[in-house]
Structure 1
């Protein structure tokens, strides 16, 4: 493996962060949002002849030097390195995502998330989730609703399991329905614990990352998503228009590389095979 210098300042520049980088709540919140606005959540390596590997220098080279993105194991692994280098106390946790296509939870080690302890409080950080991920860390010390922009989130505890849930704009309020995003425990994990599931997500017909080529990034006031042969532009509600506006553009194969470069800043070294297949429900449910 070629040696890669991991430069903290270059990483901060990659995500557009300026100002004092100290272990404070304000800095953590800003870093979290900057990362989501700059680094896509994507699985394009899987669909362009490559394999995702979790060595930190490789992740740094991909995300910082080559201005790519990644899925949770990649984005959150590198974000953990950043927070740790800045002096934050970070613990790796394992989550299980509720698949919005199959309605099933993924296996253990399905999702890589971060717990940050700061000034006697606990925060859940996650820059490795697409829709409907949260833009700033969520407090782990309350089950009360936590409002962010047009969405409301909460972390509900049931015995040893915690559930991250959200309400859509038109569904908010005391009587609204909560939708589960993923569940997790507070058991400390290591990066190596996720190796097997990282391979699973690149080879299993029950994984969204194997079945669909995708790339999504948060934008001020909205979100931009590529999936298969579609480009989806989401505009969040405003005071003038209180509804989410979705625009879908159909893409031809030859248009996709240009869209990835222009809209996401991504240039692939190999040809992308666009994919948008139905996900097979897992034989074992969790």
Structure 2
């Protein structure tokens, strides 16, 4: 079950409640602008509980953010409550990583079927997909920010983004629908294993229709759609301020060690 009224209030949505492509686009855009991507609980060794009640308490009631299993798990339940046909998928992250060695499948994304057409929607990736795109066509598709495309690779579908004239791989998805239980092990790995990117780095990200805000440890990047990036290195106090003012997080006193560690990074 999901409290749709509470979720709509959380993201500022007051439109129709129907299973249409336009509603999917509207919800996707408002979600990634309102519920930020963040791994602060991983950095605090709190672990990540992806049970629906825990996710709703954190992302809706406490106005926190989260990572893919929390974000897309919540979004999947919202869409299902509205009557959408939704499948959870699992994929290998490729973004900013060498081709070898291959990484395990640790990213959750969603495939939504509307009037017989498949759409990729993903509100749980740091450099967020700005809006849903067609899952089953190979041609470039425009979004509020970069162009994206889906291509077939080894009987899977790979999402790519056009960055400075080059198609860069984002992640590669298995076509097999996943059950909720299939995300328990990759969530455990992502939140606890020392080689997990989320154990090693503070990551906070928010995407609006006009601007991307990305924080990696102490490096803040603000990029307007189609514009140049503004980059700054922040100290611990500035990190806390950015978390509050740019990302809308309810900063807690015990987050201070996370900001101090991030500020000390080279």
Fold conserved (TM > 0.5)?
Answer: yes
* 1:174-197 deviation line (CA, Å, top 9, x unaligned): xxx321111112111112112111
* 1:200 and 2:184 aligned: no
Corresponding position of 2:10: 14
Match of 1:221 in 2: 210
Q: 1:271: which partner in 2?
A: 255
Structure 2 residue corresponding to 1:106, chosen from 88, 103, 118: 103
User: Structure 1: any 5+ residue segments left out of the alignment?
Assistant: 172-176, 238-243, 279-286
Compute the displacement of 1:149 (Å): 3.1
The equivalent residue for 1:236 is 225
TM superposition shift of 1:56: 0.5
- Does the CA contact (< 8 Å) of 1:216 and 1:223 recur in 2? yes
State the Cα deviation string for residues 12-56 of structure 1 (Å, max 9, x = none).
111111111111111011111111111111101112341111101
1:250 corresponds in structure 2 to 233
TM superposition shift of 1:134: 1.8
| Partners of 2:145 and 2:11 in 1: CA distance | 23
CA contact (8 A) 2:144 2:209 kept: no
Structure in which a larger fraction of residues adopt helix: 2
**Pairwise CA distance, 1:69:** 0.9
Runs of 4+, deviation exceeding 3 Å: 101-105, 274-278
Pairwise CA distance, 1:206 = 2.8
TM-score normalised by L of structure 1? 0.85
The answer to whether the Cα contact below 8 Å between 1:41 and 1:215 also exists between their aligned partners in 2 is: yes
Shift of residue 83, structure 1, vs aligned partner: 0.2
Tell me the TM-score normalized by structure 2: 0.91
1:38 aligns with 2:34: yes
Alignment of 1:101-250 (within 5 A): 101-104=97-100, 105-108=102-105, 110-131=106-127, 133-168=128-163, 170-171=164-165, 177-237=166-226, 244-250=227-233
Equivalents in 1 of 2:49, 2:145: separation in Å? 35
- C-alpha displacement of 1:99: 4.3
CA RMSD of aligned residues (A): 2.0
Q: Distance in 1 between matches of 2:2 and 2:176?
A: 29
- The yes-or-no answer on 1:88 pairing with 2:84 is yes
Distance 1:150 1:69, change over 3 A: closer
Distance 1:10 1:128 in 2: 19
Shift of 1:207: 2.2
Aligned equivalents of 1:201 and 1:158: distance in 2?
A: 25
2:244 is matched with 261
- Check the 8 A contact 1:79/1:127 in 2, yes or no: yes
Residues 64-83 of structure 1: matches in 2 within 5 Å? 64-83=60-79
